[in-house]
Amino acid sequence: MYHPGDVVQVHLVLKRADGADPSVTSVPAVTILNAAGTAVVTSQTMTLITGTKKIYKYAWSVPSNQAAGRYFAIADYTVDTVVFDNVHIETIDIGDSRVQGTVALDSTVAKDATVAKDATVAKASSLITLNPDNSATIQAIKSKTDALPATPANETTLTTIQALVQQGVDGILCHMTIDKTVNPNTLTMRRLSDNAVVAVFQLTDDANSTVRTRTS
């Protein structure tokens, strides 16, 4: 599929059944017809591609106003004294002739439809001018962030708090053992989860009470 403004390379291959190099006594001339048989290119000389046996080419620069449709390249030439006239060598489709139905528009419209119009594309310069006050979503987010403390707790502070909370939990949910084989007696507190020692206290009795003093 080609479009107006494209360059179409039309080729003609001349060869003999025995593989020998054919003798071209009349250089091929190409004519390009539209579907109605009207010539849009008339008897243009084709150029031999150097080193081939033998391939000729012609570059058709499709005009910018060329109508969409199917075109036919035909050639006249003489090979080994045999004259060939109006031999079909290539079919060329311009624009959207292969697209069916209502989509089969002219090539300019079809190509233009695949590219967003500049006027309808959002650009950075347009977006930065939008007023966030007009967005309920942005305002809802802003109200939440405005309520955050100016100096939220950092990771070090949270780690310290976590350790203190864990100590409190260990102190409440623990196994306590009083060792009466030593004097003064000792109270050992062990964590229930792994039996690790949480704290050790020395117990001192008097007539009215028992006082514990932490030793570790």
Q: For residue range 47-84, what is the model confidence (pLDDT) as tens digits?
A: 999 988 899 999 999 998 999 999 999 999 999 999 99
Q: Where in the chain is the domain with CATH 2.60.40?
A: 7-113
- pLDDT for position 70: 94
Q: What is the largest CA-CA distance in the chain?
A: 141
Q: Where are the alpha helices (DSSP H) in the chain?
A: 107-113, 124-127, 136-146, 155-172
Give every residue of the chain whose pLDDT is below 50, as ranges: 97-98, 100-101
- pLDDT for position 48: 96
- CATH number for 7-113 (one of 2.40.160, 1.10.8, 1.10.3470, 2.60.40): it is 2.60.40
Q: pTM higher than 0.85, yes or no?
A: no
CA nearest 88: which of 106, 70, 76, 103?
A: 76
- pLDDT for position 98: 45
CA nearest 72: which of 8, 13, 146, 22?
A: 8
- Cis ω before 184 (30° cut-off from 0): yes
Q: Which two tokens stand for residue 56?
A: 């000729």
- pLDDT for position 206: 87
> How many angstroms separate the Cα of 141 from the Cα of each of 131, 133, 151, 153?
15, 11, 19, 21
- pLDDT for position 116: 56
